[in-house]
Structure formats: C-alpha cells, structure tokens
Structure 1
Amino acid sequence: MRNNKAILFVFTVLLMLFHISLANASHTPVKFEVDKNYPPFSYTSDGRIYGFAIDLANLVFEPDKFKLELSSDEWSQVYKKLVEGKIDATAPVAIIEERKEEVYFSKPIFTRHVGLYTQKGFSGNISLKNLKDFKVGVMKADYTETYLKEKLGVKRYYTYPTVEDLIFALIDGNIEAALMSQEVANYFLIKNNLSDRTQLKIKNIFTVKSAFAVNKKRPELVSYINQRLDYLINKGIFDELYCNYFSTYSPEYYEKKNRQILLSALYLLIIILFATSVIIFVMTRINRGLERGKQAYEKYAQLLAENANAIVLTLNLKGEIIYFNKFAEQITGYKSEEVVGKKWVDIFIPSHRREYIENLFKRIAEVKILNDHENEIVTKNGDIRWILWNNTLIESSYLNEPLIISTGLDITQIKRTQQLLEESYEEIEQTNQELINTLEILNKQSEMLQEEKEKYKFLVENVSDCIWEIDFNEKKIEFYGRLKDQFDIDVIKSKNDFSAWLEFFHEDDRSTVFKKLQDAILLHEEKVEFESRIRDKHGNWRWISSHVQILYNEEGKPEKIIAVNIDWTAKKEYEHRIEYIAYYDTLTGLPNRKLFEERLESLIEKAEAEKTQGAVVLIDIDNFKDINDLYGHEAGDEYLIAVTKKVLEYLNSIKLDTFFARVGGDEFAVILDGLAKKEEVIEVCTKLLGIFESEIYIQKIEGCIFTSASIGVSFYPDDGKSVKEIFRNVDMALSSAKENGKNDFQIFMPFMLMKNFKKIEIEKSLKKAIEADQFELYYQPVINLRNMEIHSVEALLRWHLPGKGIISPLEFIPVAEESGLIVRIGEMVIEKAFSDLKEWENKGIDYLHIAINLSTRQFKTKFFEKMVQKQIERYGVNPQKISFEITETGAVENFDVSLKILSFLCQLGIKFLIDDFGTGYSSLIYLRRLPIGGVKIDRSFISEIELSKESRAIVEGIILMAHKLDLKVIAEGVETKRELEILKEIGCDFAQGYLFSKPVPKTEIEKLLIERKIFV
C-alpha cells in the first residue's frame, strides 16, 4: 500500500512538472526577508512574521506567479544577505546613494521622517550641533547610523539590534538620546503605552524615501514590483493597507490622504460641470423655439450663476476680474461690484504670493489649460481659505479678447474633515438636480441668454463620466462625456427604436431599471437612482451608478430623461472583496464564525417553529500549536486545508443537512440540522475523530502529520434558544472533552453549567482575595542528600478564604490560569518570597536558597523579567539564591521567547529548575539549549521506586542524563526511608517530601532553618 502511494506521488509530481514545462510558467521562488523587530513594518510573534512589509509583499508577489519564501533576521544580517545574493528582496529599505551601488530599488512606496527622541522632561540643551557631547543611540546598520556618522559627524555612539532595544535603552537611561524613524518610534511608543516616557525633541531632521530593495542578480523583479505597486495604488488597495498600519501613528499619512481628498473634491466639481453640461445641452434644444423661451433662458442663466456651488471667475490676461459669481461672494465676503474691474492679486492674494500668481497667469496664456492648482486667498474679514482651481484660456470670447475661465472649489473644510466633504457632496448633488429643474422657468430674452451661453459653455467642455438623454418628443437618445467612448453607443443610436438603450444593460438588470423608471413616471417623481451593469466595448460588464432626472411638460407627461452615470466598478469589486473577507476564512474558504452564527440563529428559530432539533459540533485540534512550532506555519496551514477537504467530503456524503465553518485558529464547527434522533450525532462525532486521527501527507515537510481532536456537542433548541447559549454550552462540553485527556467528544450536560458557575464564583472570590491579601506562603524544605542538611525551601501558595478555611491549590490555580489572575497572584508570591528571604538573611540564615513556582502564562508575560529585576532591587536579595520552577511544556513552548527570558534572568544569577520532569514535553535536546540548572523528578516515579523496576530504571536514567548535562536532580514526594536510601544509592542530589517535613507556615519553617540538620 505504501509503495502504491509512493508511485502515485512520484507520478503526480512528474505530471505537475510536465504540465508546468508545457505551460512555460512556474511559481518562481522569491526569498523575501525582513527585519525581525521593526514594527509596524515587520516583526515576529508566536513564530510568525507580521507587519506592513509582509502584507505588502504578499499583495505584490502574485501567488500564481511567485512562491514567496518569508524569513526574518536582525537588520544588519538582512541587508548583508541581500547584497550577497542569499535573499532576493526586502522592504522597506531607505534609498541612499551608497546602497544604489549594491542593490536595485523599486519605486518609492513612502517617505520616512527621522527625529531625535529623549526621555520625558530631559532638560539638556541638546541640538544637532552639539549631539556628539551626548550619549546617542541608533539602530545597527540602519540609515540613521550612516546619517549620524557621516552627516552629523558623531563618531562615538551606541548601536542596538532592534527598535525595542533602542527605546528601552533610552527609557532605562543607558543613553540620553535616540535617532530613529518617527513612524516606527511613534508606532511602538503608542502601542506599548510608553508615550509619556519619551519626547520627540527634534522632529523631521531629515526625510528618506523607502522602497523594495532587490538583489542585483534579480533585476527582472524591479519592473514587476513597480507594475504591481502601480496596480495596488490605482485600485486603492495600497492606501487601505497603509491606513491599517499608519493612520493612528503617522501624521504624514493624513497629508497623503488630504491629497486624495482634494482629488475627490475635484471629482465633485466635475459633477457640477456635468449638471451644467446637461443644462447647456437642453438650452441649445430650447433655443430652437426662442420666441417662447427667451425669458426662460435668461432666468436659467441667472439661477445658474447664483446657485453654482463653486467659484466661477472670468479674468482677462492682466488679471482683472470680468465676472464674479454669487458663490465667490459667499466665500470671500466681497460683493461683485466691489471687485469687478480690479486686479485679482491686489484683493485676494497675500503679498508674498502675488508675483507667483501673476506668473501663473502668464503660464495659463502659454499652455491654455492649467488644472489641479491650489492656493490660498484672503477673504474680506482676513480669513485664509484654500481653493482648488481649474483654469482654461478662451482665445475667442464674447468680449473679443482672450479670457481666463477659472472654476474654484473651496477645500478648506475638506482638509479639516472628510465628513464635511461627504455632506458637501450631498449638497452638490442636490444643487445639480435643482439646476436641471430651473430649465422649466427660463424666461429671459434670447440676446442675454446667448451671452450667458457663451460664458458658461467654457465651463463644460470636459466631462469625465457618461450622460445619456432620452427625448420622448423626438424619440431619440443622445450620449455625452468621455466615458461614453468606452461603450458601444453607435449600435444603440443606429436603431430606429429609441428605447433600444435598454439593451445597454445586463439582462438581469433590464427589468429592474425599466420598472424603476416606469414607477417614477406613474408617481410623477422627478428623481430616480439605481445601480446596474453595462457592457463595455471589450465585452466586460461594468457597474454604474445612475442619477436620473425626469422632466415633465405642463400636462404632466414626461418629455426628457437625463442621467449622470458614474463608473462604480471598482467600488463594487471592493465591496465584494470586503464582504467575502467579512464572512469567509481566506485560508480554507470555509464560512467564518460571523456567518456561522448568523446561520445558526436562523436555524434555531426554524427549529423552534417547526418543533425539530439540531446540533452544534465544536471541534478543536489537539496540540495544533506543536505542529506550527515543529514544522512551521506553512505546514500548519497546509494541514488545515487538507483536513478541511476530508471533513467536507465526509459531510457531503451523509444525509443530514450540514453547515461547516472555521470559527477559530484551530477550531471548526459543524451544524447538523433536522436530526431525527440525537444518537445520529454520536456516529458523526466518531467519524470526525477518525478523520483527525488519520495520517495527512504534508508537501511542505514531505511527510505525514498525525494529530487528534477534541469535540463538544450541544443540541438546539433543547440546550439553548440563542446562539450565545449554544456556544457557551458547546464550549463547556469541549472543555470537558479536553479534561478527559483529549481525542474524545462530550455532549453538553446541565452539570457542566453548574461546574462553570462554580468556576465563575471562584474567579470572583480570587479577585477579592487579591485585594484583601488572603494569600499566605507555606514552605517545604529541600534536603541535600550528601549531608542531610536543608539546602533550600520551596514556596507554596495557600488561600485562606474567610468562612471556608484553606482552599486547595488544585481547585483555584486552574481558574487563576484560565482567567489571567495568575499573573497578579504570581507577582504577589514573588514579592512575599523575596521579602521572607531577606528577613531570614537579616536573622543570620544566610545559607538558604528559595524556589518559586512559575506558571507558563506568568512566565511569558510581557516585561516579566523586568518585574523580577525590579523586585530584586527593591528587597536587596541575592539573585544567586533564587530558583524558579517551570514545567517542561512551559519551557519549550515558544522556545525562542523562553530562551530570551531565561538567558536574561540567568545573567542576573537566577537559576531555573524543570518541575515534574518526565510527565510533560520531555526533550533533553530542547532543555540542553536552555540555561537550566536542574530538574525535579515527579512524585509519580518516586512513589513506585521501591516496587517497580521500571520506575527505578526511569529515575536512574533521568539522573544519569541530567548529570551528563551538568544538571542537579531533586526528587519530589519522598515519604519513606527506603525511598531515601534508593535515591542516595543511585546518586540523586536533593530530595523533598513528607519524610522530612510537610509544607508549613513561615513561623514553623524558621525553626527547621535554624536547626538546618534533618534527622529521619
């Protein structure tokens, strides 16, 4: 069977390679490495790499073209590998001249700003000129080091491998100033609540553009990266990613965003021009009947000038104002008669900018059109307002001289808040509709209308989107705007039937569009809005948002339909993408927890109404973290995809209605709806356990992974009538399955709820106990077996609950672990133990060592080592007399983190012991790499050492291996003299147990400590 599998595997691989060679395409590997601690650009956590650079790289390198191999290291090593060709690319890298000779750069992706940070309240007179007189730190091999050394002339400084080390060196007073990226520093300080510990003394010392850096052996990657960056920027994906990481921490982001808002404002101005274009077009039609429409045209022109929600100016080449509309009066505070005939720069432009604006007029005369220009103006009351201008030179005008037509949008408020921009959009849209309605009341003489037509036709020569007009009287359709060129309008216009415009729309949208317009006409409504799909010239369907105005005659019959159509395709694609992310897991493609809960809620309601029943099956993969730790997250992801496929195949094969989702990192959930009897669930759970127990081949490691799962079950609506109740119950059932040794399933029972309530009560009491200091330390002596003298004591926690006496640690420690209270309790234990140790030293008991138990959660707490160091300094104890006991599993879990913490504390002199050795993750290979001082053999082995040869052999083996690794051995739970004799015979170093003393309060242990010698 295994040979067949091997042959099948080899054949599959060859087939894949043959297919790839035929297609002349491959998943080209790209080795992409980043700084392992440079948040938010890149950082590592739980063995995985995160950050802006990683997310951007995943977006840039398309998975169907490139296989991205991610890794991290200290920055100096990353850059060295890039230059040597050991990796292909990295980001972000500051673009400096020295590096251009060593690597290629992509287009810049953003700008970094460098500042000088000091401690809060630093009073030294520090500046760039005297920086060499202070203790300054920078990141090693960073562009800031180059600048400090070569530009500022500082030769003596301190380097640190990571930003975290640099900032803590500043906070701890090891350096007086730190030169670093403001984006990275602000991110780290704000995220870790350290802003009140530092200050930005000198900001924006210099800026540097950053980009992807590529090894010179891979030049083809540069053009590809640039192409992908352009695509991501144009689609708005880059800005969305940038916002996720930097909107809270980077003022430069807002500057960039403001520029985008200005473009949006320009877009809104164009919409105004759309409406005006429509008006001019209709005015042209009405001009055919001048005898009955003269006054209407005049009225229209007047209303247009008064209601246009933008500044409209006409100036001659001298800069003298010819026309000044009502909106300009509102913005500036000047009346038209106050400014017409006067020079624009003399009234509105600050003196230091006048020469620039006059040169700008000359520039307009040369280039004819000058758009997207912004500058500040001074209003009548002295306020400064920012205006975004579009300028067009009209060489042949109604005044027989060249004129400049300028339209300006006030962007002052837009710069302050995007919300006001959106409100302004609604007002502009309303104004557009009102402008169209004014067509019915035009009643001015044709001569004045013609003059106004010549003025305003200059404003509407360019329209970005598509406008279509249906004329019911002439039975035809017309199209305007640049967007119309993307659609095959000639086919529509060539047909005699003017209603053929409906063929523009997707067949699924035609009836909806027609009904909306038909209903509006029946109800005599003037405005209609809808979204639909239109095919472009390339055969692709594009989404448009249509804003329609229906014009009626005096008899109430529709005469014209005018619509402004905006390309909505990118917005729709973004909405679909967001919707998918919101409801589906991107790795497995399964529904996520949100969609699962929505489906469950509807099925519970259905079950109650129809008197049926269903079940929720919650699956948790046992020890899945070990897979990630041992084989890497890529292997873990591959396993999740493979096991998902197997579960789906099984669920699709059974007759029950099922819904399968991924509700957590290593958690899945299944809904079994319409159960005929509850016993059906037992068969399903048994099959599911079998699937998770079976071997699964993983390509990443070229081998199989074996694991198991724990399952909880809860029935609806019997166990609960809400999603919250069902999830609470199924979680308790799952916890029960794990407590039973895992690889099991448990069905929710009411007693589990009572057990959970008891856990909640214990948690409440624990919180009160912490505040009331109801905890006490008991001590048990540890005996040196060479001389039978007390060597140390182990601190053991006891809880005195008023009214109930002493609560067993077995009862409250698991609750404290789960709730996180163990961290605060652990700190109290350390404080009390250090205090007692110091007190005994003062009493002359200076030989004593003390051992303190640490929970895994407490041990991995952020800044744990700093807390221990602080308590050592507070009580003045000798760290060489302190030992911390941790479990085997806790020691190797997150191995790199453990190594860092243990190494730091060991440098202080603290020793570490592995508690309950032999019962957990027994791996002397791991333990050999950790700075461990000894191991404690679990009492389960010691209790059988007299009668069981196997137990004695195990204990002897542990002692032998430990001594080979230069580790001391402590035997726990020694209760008989014979056990003591055997331990001495096989070379055990230390022992503790009831044979010598049970755990006793501080006052009682002092008596034994004074005597020191133990007699048994």
Structure 2
Amino acid sequence: MLAPPASAHAERQEIRYQAELGYPPYKYLQNGYLTGFDIDLTSMIFEKQSYLIHYSTGEWEGTYKRLTRGEIDTTGLMAVTEERKKDTLFSKPVFKSYISVYSRQALQEEIKLSTLKNYKVGVGKKQYSETVLRSQTDVSQYIQYATVPQALEALKKGEIDLLFENQEVVDYLIVEQGLTGNIVRRLSNLYPQDVAYGISKSEPQLVTYINARLDRLQRSGAFEELYQQYFFTHSENYTSMIRGRVISGIVIGLFLLVTVIAALRIYIRHLRRTIHSEQAFFREVIEHSGMIVWAVHADKRVIRFNQYAASMTGLKEKDVLGANLDEIPGLSGGAAALRELLVRAVYQDYVSNVELKLPDHSPEARYFSFRTTLIQGMDTQAEDIFVLVGMDVEECKQNELKLQLSYQELEATYEELAATEEELQEQFNKLAASERRFRLASEGSGAYMWELDWESGMYNLPERWYEVMGYTKEEINSFEGGVLSIIHPDDQEPARQARQEHLAGLTPIYEIEYRMRTKDDRYVWFEVRGKAIVDPKDKVVLFLGSLIDISKRKQAEFQLGNSYQELEATYEQLTATQEELVGQYDMLLENQKICTVWRIWIHSAACPTASFCWTLWRVISTVREGKRRFCSWILIISNISMTPWATSRAIF
C-alpha cells in the first residue's frame, strides 16, 4: 500500500503551491476562485488526510524563480525542457502539449513556419512557447504578452497578425469567449513537448510520491474523467473520436438496412433525419475526402460538386452548382464523359467501375473508378438524388500494370534461366579456371595484389605478402595507418601525394616506388601500381593494384650508380694524364726540331745543296702535320741519321 512521506507525523505535511494566472484550462480564476485542470489534479494527488496545500498565485517569471530558490514546493504542470531540468525536478510526463499558430478568419494567406517572420507575431512572455519561437523558428521580432488571454485579445483586435501559443489553452479560450469561426488555427500540433509536475529540488521525495499517485489515478480512471472534463469537450481529438463513432454507426446502420430492410424501416427514417441534422458535418467530409463527388436531382439540377471534382475537371464550383446538366457550357473530354454517366443514372442506367483518366491532357493525370447510384429521399416529400462518385485508383492501376509486366518478365526470365543454366555452369567453370590461372600467374610474376576496403580504410593483401614481410594481418591492422605505417619515412610523403593526385583524377595511373619495413627491420623495395574507379558522383568505389618486389633491381641500380661514379673519377684522371702527355709531347717536339736541324746541318757538308734543301722542306712539313705524323717523323729522322743519302732518295 502506498504511504505518503508525511504519514509518520501526526500533523499534515504542508505543500506550498503557486500558480500563474491567465492560463486556462490549466489554472485560472473563476468567480474569484482558483480553478482549472491543474488545480483539480493537484487536489486529487495530495490526499487531504496527509497534506495541506497552500495555494497562491503570481506571474510566471516570479513563480518560476521562487520554485528554483525553494520558496515554494511546486508550480503544478509545466513544460519539460533541458534548461529547466538544471533548476528543478520533474515528475513523469503527464501528457504532451502542442503549439499552434492562430490568425483571424479574414487572413486568407497561406501560413508556413518559414513565413512567420513576415507577420506580427504575439506570444506569452517567458512561456515555453516563446522559447520555441525564439530557438526553433527564424522569427527574431515578436510581441510579448503577460498572459495568453491578453495575447488572444490582441489577435482579435488586429494588433497582431498571428498568435504562437499553447494549442490546448488557446482552443479552450476560443470556445469560452465565443470566438469560434473568428479565430482559426492555421498550423497545429507543432513542437510536441512533455508536460509534468515541476518540483523544487529541496523536496525530492515529492517526485516519487507524485509519480505513484499519478499511476493510481490513471489506473482508476479518475485522471481520464478529469482530462475529458477539461480537454476533450474542446479538443480536435475528441471531435475526431465523435466523428468516427458517427461514421461507424452510419456504416453499421446501412449494412443492417440492406440485410433487414423490412424490420428496420422505422429506424431508417429516424436515421435519415439524423443524417439530415449532420448535413453541415458531412459537407466538410465530402469537400476533403479526396474523391470526386457529383450529385443531381431527377431534373438534372446539380446539388453537389466538390472542390476535388472541380480541380480534376477544370470546371468551377460556382458555375456548376444549381445548373442543369444539359446547360453547363464548355464540357469536353473527361468532364463530358462524367456528365453522360450522370444523365444515364437519371434514366435509371447505373454504372460501376468505369475508369477514366483526369484531368485531360495533363502529365499529372490519374485514373479514377466511377460508379453511379441512387439515394432515395428520406420520405415521400424528399427528392431522390443521383450521385456519381469517383475513387482514385491510380496506384491500383500502376500496381496492376507492374504486376502484369512483372509476370511477363518472370515468365521470360524463367525461360531464359532454364535455357542458360548449362551455359552459366560452363561460365562458372571457366571463371574458376581463370581465377586459378590468374592466381598462379600472379604468384609466378612475384606480384602481390592489393585492394582498399573503403568502409574500414584497411588494405587487403595476399598471405604471401605477409609471409615475405614477416607480419600477420592482425599486426598490420593494429598499426595506426595500417599497412601505410611501415613505408619508409622518406617515402611517406611522395607516396601520399601520388595516391591523392590519382584519387583526385590528376593522374591516370597510381604509380610509385617506395621501401617497406619488414618485421626484422629490413627494407624491401616495391613498385606499386594501381587504379581507382570513380562513380558519376565523384565517389571512389574501387581502388586496387599490385606490389612488385624490385629490391634486386634497386641493388643493381645502386651498384651501377657506384660504377658510374668510379668511371667518372677514372675519366677525370685520364683527362689529366692526357693533358700531361700533350705537354710532354710538345716539349719533345721542340727538342726534336732542334736535333733534326742539327743533324741536317752536320750532314749537309757531305751532300749537295739541292738535296739538303729538299730534305729540310720535308722535315718541316712533317712537323707541321702534328701528332698524326709523329711516328713517321721519328722514322724519317732515324733513317736520315743512319743512311742519309739512300734514305733521302727512297723517301723523296
């Protein structure tokens, strides 16, 4: 059994409750007394034998400050927000509250949340609705009112264009003040928010007690009875529930009318009178039913032509209502076909499931299924009504066509599958053989295939690569950066740049050479090639390629580089030696000139003058020829010195 926290004390525990005024139907003054749903629910929660409630009133801003300072125990029901949770405690949610936008009936413009900033908007000061208006919409300037009734009065007088406030409160005030039809709801059921009891942090034990009492009141039905007393009589949900009950009763009555028409004749007449009394209600239903409704009397005079029918046929409601079917001008296409169906119904020729596509020649035309029927008068004085009703069957038609096409495709597919089963098996075998050949070719060439997994960001590599590098797949994936982390530090940036340029579409092929560290701290040179496949939205869907071990080639290149350096050094030494030899050769040449002249002079005494001159001229010519004739010159001088006369004759 639930025991209140103060049950151990002889005296009742005092509860300090302060309510804001002007917030019906939650809390308001009536004939000088504080009343409302919040007040009655609080009285039901705190049992009189255990609690004594001290009621007080005040403006919301001051009331909330007193609650946060612990000067009062509760303010009753309030909207639950994350900001308020920092200052106060809350019971479990009692119900949800909504915000609506209201205007005068004379305002015919379409109202949207995005257009609120174009109007003068009113809101309750420091209320939850003001917080929502400021944070959830783009309205920066609005008018604050101390209470919701004051804001509603300003809307009625035209001081503001729109009222952004609690839906339940404003709906209650509209009914109480007789403003139905003058003040209308333009946007509803916005920003649902939990409503719960706000409790001071100084009284945390009240949270458990209030939650337990709420559960008991809800199970007993007392809470629902109180809620209906204050809200259902004025809420749209209650109206929808009553409307559903009326429609259900009518459907059941019509069903019983067909089956037991003789026994229920008296009840049918009474039911028709009831329907007649609900004529205004059904007019709204017809206008917003999403069906084409066209009704005439026996004299072909139109009595019903809803707005949906007008939008589908291109006719205007004011031109059709009250007119004779035969006198309506400008009928063609689908509209003319509908008139023909109604004329046939007047002559007792009813149709069912007649399909037409409306509106004519429109890319947004839809299929409708039409039927005509007779609604007999409720008594002998009432006229019969001939009704044409069109149901939107566009979706059914599309599904029917899709089903037919699917069936045909299924048959063709089945035949194709049956015919190609053997071919697919053969292709599968070829694919398996091709896969084996590719794997063997890859292993034989020394290439390691890789692929980037875009979801995980890891590279998939063959087991052979892991064996060569000495790692396991788990070890590589555990590194920060995965397989890219073992690239030589000097090669990291060029590899990253080449990869990014290719993924950005700047290079046709991803191609680079870099070193990778094995587990035993050796470096292996790899030639890396790959290509990425990009979809039309510039999203990479596939990135794969190969790794080829080029360590031996790199070693050979290194040795070749060393040999080239040695060759350059040798070439420089040879160049220096050549220059030295040329210098020595020039010196030798000068010495030889002197010796030659000297020898010629010595032998000139023994030879004629003509022979001496001829020999001297040949020697000088030989010296001028340079290095190419150096050896020949030495031979000539030697021969002259050995056999001066015989040799001279032989040469010259």
Shorter-chain TM-score above 0.5: no
Max Rg structure = 2
Greater relative contact order (Cα < 8 A, sep 6+): 2
Give the TM-score, by structure 2 length: 0.36
Give the TM-score, by structure 1 length: 0.23
